[in-house]
Amino acid sequence: MTKLLCCALLTLASLPVFAMTDVDSVLHFTPTPFKGVDLNCEQDKHITPKRGDLILENYALMAANNGDRVALITIRNGANGQRIFNQEHIVAILGDCSRILPQAFELRLSGREQRSLQIYFGQQQQPILQLLGGN
């Protein structure tokens, strides 16, 4: 009887933890069928990535049910010297063909250095179809 009571109390004590977990904000990887494809969208052609020595080596897109859009990117400094890269060097093309910049970030890379990081595009109704780098 004591063991049963202890199990019941432990179960009840853990319920608030599960209730506080927001399943709509859990990120999951999304397919990237347009990676490496030239999309000829007509909207927002004026938003382009800033030219520079940033090389977007690879990326994986993530989304949550609440609309959060995130990308895990691997970038490389294509120059021999140190460079600073920020949100102006990467643009996302959304499902409605609009283009957006990620939230502010700044990354200092030594010559030819490569690094991976997560960047956030805010809450969007449309999925991210593709990322563009400024090289």
What is d(CA 119, CA 131) in angstroms, rounded to the nearest whole number?
11
Candidate from 18-22, 24-28, 109-113, 124-128 with smallest mean pLDDT? 18-22
Model confidence at 21: pLDDT above 70: no
Whether residue 97 contacts residue 39, with contact meaning beta carbons closer than 8 Å, is answered with: yes
Structural domains of the chain in order of their starting residue, each with its CATH number: 24-133 (2.60.40)
The pLDDT of residue 36 is: 87
Q: Which residue type does 48 have?
A: T
- State CA 98 to chain mean position distance: 16
What is d(CA 63, CA 71) in angstroms, rounded to the nearest whole number?
8
Confidence of residue 9 (pLDDT cuts 50, 70, 90): very low
The pLDDT of residue 46 is: 81
